[in-house]
Chain A
Amino acid sequence: MHELSIVSSVIDQLDELKKQHNGARFTRVGLRVGELAGVDVDCLRFGFECVIKDTPWEHLALEIEEVPRRQRCPACNAEFRAENWATACPQCGEEATILIAGEELQIAYVEVDE
């Protein structure tokens, strides 16, 4: 249940970004959350609503892109989605594959009303 601290970190960065853009009005923020980020997306949405309520960010929309886990095979270079934690390479059977996506916890973009 650390989603509230995560929302606060997002808002802190948006405060900073708003200053850098001379007080531009942000209408939407896009987050990217990997399935291995340890963040519950529903809790994040709920926390977001709670944190922005009655603040200058009240009308900010939240968009979350959920990023599935992907692996790369060092033997045959295949890249694949690791579904149900099956990390062995579906092409050649190699077991020691490398994580290439799924740990993201990023602010991807903001939309500005001009």
Chain B
Amino acid sequence: MSQIVVEKKVLNENQKIAAELRDKFRENKILVINIISSPGSGKTTLLERTLERLDKSKRVAVLTGDLQTENDARRLAQWGFPVKQIITGGTCHLDAKMIEKHLADWPLENLDVLIIENVGNLVCPTSYDLGEHCKIVMLSVTEGEDKPLKYPSIFVKSELMLLSKVDLLPYVPFNAELAKQNARSVHPGIQIIETSCKGEGLDAWMKWLEEKLAAVKVGETVSA
């Protein structure tokens, strides 16, 4: 009996494709963000508000993942930016190969920002690198304050947490300070922006996005 030391990542194949994508994104100076949350936290609504506010000179594209239906792509297409739906057909996450496949016929040199809306799920998408610059986790105030403690991986891996639906705070027993404290305890450096589709925090979110994009354009290494 002898032992062979392997020491390889289990998701090596995904990692390889993600690294190739990351190189392509860097070459073309595209900011790529991967938004992850539970189903119903408001990812698509946030994207609607974002696309609505974006300067039309910005070249933005959206990949949106769901198990079934083209509904989200239809909702997002009305703002005039290219949107593609990735139907996973039951798979609970997006992987790098799906991103590669859906980008194959999009000219990357014509793009400034690629927004990836992952499948609504706080667990599985965490394990798959898509070549993005950063992951963003969204938590809505109709969920529990302890979500960061229950699903720590995604909060650890996300650079930014969007606390959404804050316009509902007066009506729900949600302790926003505790939620933020929980997020910071699992990820001490996490940035947090409170948002609502009614408008609160959207300026701060757009500013965050603009600053990220500016950093990518000057070739700064944004975290990977």
Binding site for B on A (CB under 8 A): 1-2, 5-6, 9-10, 12-13, 17, 21, 27, 31, 36-39, 85-88, 95-97, 99, 103, 105-114
Interface of A is mostly: mixed
Residue from the list B4, B13, B154, B188 in contact with A95, Cβ < 8 A: B188
Which of B12, B152, B157 makes the CB contact (< 8 A) with A85? B152
Residues of A within 8 A of B11 (CB): 6, 9, 105
Which chain B residue lies CB-closest to A2? Answer: B124
Number of interface residues of B (CB under 8 A): 35
Please tell me if the beta carbons of B188 and A114 are within 8 angstroms of each other in the complex: no
Q: List 10 A-B pairs, minimum CB-CB distance, nearest first.
A: A2-B124, A38-B126, A38-B153, A107-B6, A36-B153, A96-B188, A105-B10, A85-B186, A38-B127, A85-B185
B residues 159-191 touching A (CB-CB < 8 Å): 182, 184-189
Chain A residue contacts of B123, Cβ below 8 A: 1-2, 38
**Chain B residues near A13 (CB, 8 Å)?**
6, 8, 10, 12-13
Say whether A9 contacts B14, CB under 8 Å.
yes
Quick check: is B43 within 8 A (CB to CB) of the other chain? no
Residue-wise interface mask of B (1-39) relative to A, using a CB-CB cutoff of 8 A (1 in contact, 0 not): 111111111111110000000000000000000000000
Q: Mark B76-119, 1 if CB is under 8 A from A, else 0.
A: 00000000000000011101000000000000000000000000
> Which A residues are in CB contact (< 8 Å) with B154?
38
A2-B123, A17-B6 in contact; A114/B1 too (CB < 8 A)?
Answer: yes
Known contacts A38-B154, A112-B3; A12/B13 CB under 8 A:
yes
Closest beta carbon of chain B to A80's beta carbon, Å = 13
Complexed CA–CA distance, A28 and B37 (Å): 36
Residue pair A87, B124 in contact (C-beta under 8 Å): no
Chain A hits for B189, CB < 8 A? 96
Determine if B7 and A108 form an interchain contact, defined as CB atoms under 8 angstroms apart.
yes
